[in-house]
Amino acid sequence: MPTLVLLRHGQSQWNLENRFTGWVDVNLTSEGEAQATRGGELIKAEGIEIDKAFTSVLTRAIRTCNLALEAAGQSFVPVVKDWRLNERHYGGLTGLDKAETAAKHGEDQVKIWRRSYDVPPPPLESGSAYDFKGDRRYAGADLPDTESLKTTLDRVMPFWTGDIVPALKAGDTVLVAAHGNSIRAVLKSLFDLSEEAILEVEVPTGNPLVVKLDDNLKPVSAKYLDTARANPLPTIG
Ligand SMILES: O=C(O)[C@@H](CO)OP(=O)(O)O
């Protein structure tokens, strides 16, 4: 039975500081490192043997992947890194304080930017310090200057279908160490969630979500391994 383990990166420095992060390559906090390690220990305790891992090109997800695999005693597992698993690009909000932005633009507007399905934040201004166009990890990619959850899903899905699905169809147990919104994109597709339903799904940091799949890659069960830090999951069936 194919098994998918979805792991949002552990707490990052900007999660802690409550700043819009997106593609900025901030590192894990010590709490985030501990969450990633604990995630790996739980994977081991569950007897899960990972065959292949996928992560983004952002340090917080890569380190979460590595720390979890190490704690699970499975550092040898091959890891594929791809920018299409990056966090949603936060456009012109990147780097801003979430509370200050809410005070300036109103809670309702910030909620729309953060949790509407298809309303992107304002685009990144050209010349911004957070322009990633010259960054060689994105060489050749058609880079966005902002993303909604919908457009995040549009770039995650080709990678999901082209790279992750074949591994699952081959019967592999797959770890995807990624970000809140790239994981939500996967969950929307996997659980066939409506645009409204996916907005209610919040994935906790560093808590492995184990999804067992049938041969058609329909979920048959889903559970967080750290039950004390679990959030509600979509209904199956
Ligand atoms: O800042 C971000 O990049 C994301 C994830 O931390 O935040 P949000 O909760 O608004 O999706």
What's the CATH code of the domain at 166?
3.40.50.1240
Give me the tens of pLDDT residue by residue for the chain, a chain 237 residues long.
Answer: 899 999 999 999 999 999 999 999 999 999 999 999 999 999 999 999 999 999 999 999 999 999 999 999 999 999 999 999 999 999 999 999 999 999 999 999 999 999 999 999 999 998 899 999 999 999 999 999 999 999 999 999 999 999 999 999 999 999 999 999 999 999 999 999 999 999 999 999 999 999 999 999 999 999 999 999 999 999 887
The reply to whether 184 falls in a domain is yes
C-alpha 94 to ligand 1 mean position (Å): 10
Sheet holding 173-178, edge to edge: 79-81, 52-55, 173-178, 3-8, 209-213, 219-224
136-158 b/e (C-beta count within 10 Å ≥ 16 → b):
eeeeeeeebbbbbbbbbbebbbe
| Nearest of 123, 99, 126 to residue 110 by alpha carbon | 99
- Confirm whether 237 is domain-assigned: no
CA-nearest residue for atom 9, ligand 1, is 114
pLDDT value of position 1: 86
- Pick from 128, 178, 185, 133: which is nearest to 154 by CA? 185
Question: Would you say residue 31 lies in a domain?
Answer: yes
Is residue 193 within 8 A of residue 70, CB to CB? The reply is: no
Residue nearest to atom 8 of ligand 1 (CA): 114
- 157 domain-assigned: yes
Round the CA-based radius of gyration of the chain to a whole number and report it. 17
CA distance 66 to 73: 10
Residue 111: how many CB atoms within 10 A of its CB? 12
Query: Which residue is associated with the tokens 């819009």?
Result: 20
Q: Computed from CA positions of residues 60, 62, 75, 3, in that sequence, does the dihedral angle turn out positive or negative?
A: positive
Task: Report whether residue 20 contacts ligand 1, using a CB cutoff of 6 Å.
Answer: yes
Whether the CB of 90 sits within 6 Å of ligand 1: yes
Length of the chain (residues):
237
Mutation to probe ligand 1, out of 8, 89, 90 (largest number of atoms < 8 A from CB) = 90
Number of domains in the chain: 1
Q: Give the structural domain span for 39.
A: 3-229
Q: Is 180 annotated as a binding residue?
A: yes
Q: Which two tokens stand for residue 55?
A: 């992560």
Q: Cβ(93)–Cβ(115) under 8 Å?
A: no
Query: Is 70 annotated in the active site?
Result: no
In a domain, 235, yes or no: no
